[in-house]
Amino acid sequence: MRIGAPGAEKPVARVDDTTYVDLSDIVDDFDEAFFGSGGLARIAPVVAERTEAGQVTPFSGERIGAPIARPHQILCIGLNYRDHAAETGQAVPDEPILFTKSPNTLVGPNDDVRIPRGSTKPDWEIELGIVIGRRTSYLDSVEQARDAIAGYVVVNDVSERYFQMERGGQWSKGKSAETFNPAGPWLATTDEISDVLNLDMWLDLNGERRQTGNTKTMIFDPYFIVHHLSQFMVLEPGDLINTGTPPGVGMGFRPQVWLQPGDVIELGIDGLGSQRQNVIGPR
């Protein structure tokens, strides 16, 4: 986890819901350099030793930042659940649909989501996020992808459908507004998730359940995605991959439902924690 004011977050390891181990004396940040130098393995014995010695700190209402520093890139997979493709009236893809989000969309799990200027169709999408653990390219097999993954996070892939679908068909336009990628609250390492292909996920809007899903209904699972992307680009340590959303997005309702200032979004995934965002208007 990373806690503290925006731009001044400190790296910590969550022990449980009430306490954490401060790692700011041995880790600068959970960034590309950290993941690329074997940082997770390096801190594991420190966290265990400090926890055993009672060197833990209570959470005291600090802001929670995204669990990773701004990544080299945020990659996204579109239409990765069959029922979501159906609700949007689009064909199930033969291979992963790739688009990008600007890395500066990344914010904390409970930070405000800001509707951009000119927006008419802002939408929500709960997703499983993959964090890459080492520099990766041209993987020979899907199995090799397992070792390239550092862990998993909850992501809200906030979208502006008018920008995405009606402004030249360029998805990144509808995905890259500021605050459009809340992530966290924590990064769960791969050993902490017993079966990433069977995680329940949910999203509520103003207390009403909108999305209910499970990662087992993905078309392309996380290992396939990492292997596939590695054939086209170099994945850097700390890169974030958003893996698609189950049905229940605003675009899929009849009539369609769009985010409005004053709305509250709550979402979560088993083992990865939950988020809560207030929706605010444009600057």
pLDDT in tens, 260-280: 999 999 999 999 999 999 999
Instruction: Look at residue 221 in the predicted model and tell me its pLDDT.
Output: 96
The alpha carbon torsion through 54, 58, 59, 62 (nearest 10 deg) reads: -110
Q: What is the pLDDT of residue 92?
A: 81
Yes or no: say if 203 and 210 are a contact pair by the CB < 8 Å rule.
yes
The CA distance from 231 to 267, in Å, is 32
Q: Residue 210: left (phi > 0), alpha (psi -120 to 50), or beta? A: alpha
Contact yes or no for 40/133 (Cβ under 8 A): yes
CB atoms within 10 A of CB 100: 14
Q: Which of 154, 266, 265, 159 is nearest to 199 (CA)?
A: 154
Kindly tell me the burial class for residue 140, based on how many C-beta atoms sit within 10 Å of its own C-beta (0-12, 13-18, 19 or more).
Answer: exposed
pLDDT of 86 reads 77
Q: What is the C-alpha separation between 243 and 127, in angstroms, rounded?
A: 6
Q: Which run of H or E residues covers position 33? A: helix 32-36
CB atoms within 10 A of CB 5: 10
Burial of 245 (0-12, 13-18, 19+ CB in 10 A): buried
Q: What residues in the chain have per-residue pLDDT under 70?
A: none
CB atoms within 10 A of CB 264: 13
Whole-number pLDDT of residue 27: 97
| pLDDT in the model for residue 170 | 79
**CA–CA distance, 135 with 96 (Å, rounded to integer):** 21
Contact assessment for residue 79 and residue 94, using Cβ atoms and an 8 Å cutoff: no
Residue with tokens 């397992």: 146
